Chains A and B, each alone.
Chain A
Amino acid sequence: MSDWVEACAAGDIDEEDVMRFDHGGRTFAIYRSPDDDYFATDGLCTHEKVHLADGLVMDDIIECPKHNGRFNYKTGDARGAPVCVNLRTYPVKVDAGKVLIQIG
């Protein structure tokens, strides 16, 4: 079983934005959607291992800051060239103002 890990406070991320979270030698990206829901994916783009947290969030899409690879951060689906490998996603919950992610 994997544990829930506290990533940040809910207010640390603006709406429709993203933040980097490093834990246990791994890096993740935590998202807050325009609808005020939270999501988490692997932190690096599947194209060239660039930190996605430097990228732009528009609606449910995160765009890689380097080569504009796009993913749906809610599902991890790759959305067109140059990315073709999906992002791994992780369960997220908000508890007492804290964003927790379940790292598998």
Chain B
Amino acid sequence: MARGMVIIGAGECGGRAALALRDLGYDGPVTLVGDEPHLPYERPPLSKETMASDTPEIKAIASDAILAEKSIRHIHSVQAVAIDRAPHMVRLSDGSALPYDKLLLATGSTPRKLPMPGLGSRCVYLRTFADALAIRAHLSPGNRIAIVGGGFIGLELAAAARKLGASVTVIEAQPRILMRGVPAEIAEIIHAAHVAEGVDILCGNGIASIVDDGQQVRVTLAGGREISADLAVIGIGAVPVTGLAAEAGLTIDNGIAVDAELRSSDPDIFAAGDCCSFPLAVYGGRRVRLEAWRNAQEQGALAARNMLGAGEAHAAVPWFWSDQYGLSLQIAGLSDEGRSVVRRDLGDGAFILFHLDEDGRLVAASGIGPGNAVARDIRLAEMLIGKRAKPAPEALGSQAIKLKSLLAA
């Protein structure tokens, strides 16, 4: 009898992997282990809709009924504490143990901790639904929110906090917001949108000290300026959750190191989503780790196929989005692969920057605009990137030439 498939981590990636195993016809035991009390749920709304809603609810990836119908056993509120690789067993924090044929580590990432003394109960991070509810309780008119880190989570939270009437200060150590992965031209537009909505953004400011007395937080910047807030939310990136894998002796390299088929250094253990680093085929096998919803989803499904022996290599192009106020940003590919930029205006202030490498190959596209104005062209750009196309810069820059026509070329 099959020992079955065990998935550690019941987020987007793990949840999708479990569903995919069944969709692929696997009929042995499938067990999904998560340390949160909830059904597998989508995290992107936590910094957006969850904040805006009067009655926040999790957006479940699968209901209890679906899990039951598909015979997926979901063990919640429990942590995996050790992997015994030789006997193929995972030991859990409730004292039980699960045998596996193949194991998937979808342990995700966790907020990077601000390495400073003085942080207390008014200094928080956002990762889980519980975190989101705790933050949301502070977002009311008159309350002062300090956000440490001008990345996506911090900025989306800033937008949500302004909508709820809180006053917001964003503190960013780098010279501008969104330094990682977003071109300056686009970051400027997002910056201006926040300023127009009343957010105070302080860039190029390191933090000298934080004092949190449990009632309020006082942040002192390196330049001497002091910011007092009722709550400080720290959003300075995320680190992969690799403790379990490292303890088990798996190779770690900016995450659990996997091959193109998402297999770790143990052939019966796979890793997928935020927790793993993998070779990205579209850039010649450059090893990357992505913290993105769609990647978690796609890799969860790919891991499921390969746990069943498909032998399929990862081939997707990285893609992510962010919504702030009425603006939506979408980026396909990794723009740091680019050496030159071509701009395409789409009207209504929307535009796309196409990033080309030294050979003229399209390697990334970054777009911003109202609503979903850039979505279609970013999707087409993603396909062009996947095909390793070298479209003529004049064609990319001209609104008169449809991107779809370049795909056929």
Contacts and interface: CB of A to CB of B under 8 A. Distances in A.
B376 A54 contact: yes
Nearest to B319: A68
Residue of A51, A65, A82 with highest tally of chain B CB at under 10 A: A65
B372 A66 contact: yes
Interface string B319-336: 101000000000000000
Interface in B300-314: 301
A50 B372 contact: yes
Contact of A56 (B16, B293, B319, B380): B380
A81 B19 CA distance: 10
Residue of A16, A63, A68 with highest tally of chain B CB at under 10 A: A68
B373 interface: yes
A50 B301 CA distance: 24
A65 B372 CA distance: 7
Interface in B52-95: 61
A81 B372 contact: no
Interface string B286-303: 000000011001000100
A63 B379 contact: yes
Contacts of A66: 321, 372, 375
Contacts of A54: 371-373, 375-376
Majority-rule SS of A interface residues:
loop
A24 B301 CA distance: 40
Interface string B371-385: 111011001100000
B375 A65 contact: yes
A81 B297 contact: yes
Interface in A37-77: 50-51, 54-56, 63, 65-68
Nearest to A54: B372
A56 B404 CA distance: 10
B376 A55 contact: yes
A55 B301 CA distance: 23
Interface residues of B, number: 18
B371 A56 contact: no
B285 to A, nearest CB: 25
A94 to B, nearest CB: 23
A54 B375 CA distance: 7
Contacts of A68: 294, 319, 379
Contacts of A81: 16, 19, 297, 301
Contacts of B294: 67-68
A67 B404 CA distance: 20
Contacts of B301: 81
Contacts of A56: 375-376, 379-380
A56 B374 CA distance: 11
A56 B376 CA distance: 5
Interface in B356-389: 371-373, 375-376, 379-380
A67 B43 CA distance: 13
Residue of B297, B321, B372, B373 with highest tally of chain A CB at under 10 A: B372
B372 A82 contact: no
A65 B404 CA distance: 15
Contact of B297 (A50, A63, A82): A82
A67 B373 CA distance: 14
Contacts of B61: 82
Contacts of B380: 56
B296 to A, nearest CB: 11
Contacts of A82: 42, 61, 297
Contacts of A50: 372
Residue of A16, A54, A81, A82 with highest tally of chain B CB at under 10 A: A81
A55 B379 CA distance: 9
7 contacts: A16-B404, A50-B372, A51-B372, A54-B371, A56-B376, A66-B321, A66-B372
Query: What 5 A-B pairs come out closest when comparing CB atoms?
Result: A65-B375, A54-B372, A65-B372, A56-B379, A56-B376
Interface of B: 16, 19, 42, 61, 293-294, 297, 301, 319, 321, 371-373, 375-376, 379-380, 404
Interface of A: 16, 50-51, 54-56, 63, 65-68, 81-82
Given A56-B376, A68-B379, 5 more contacts: A54-B373, A63-B379, A65-B376, A66-B321, A82-B42
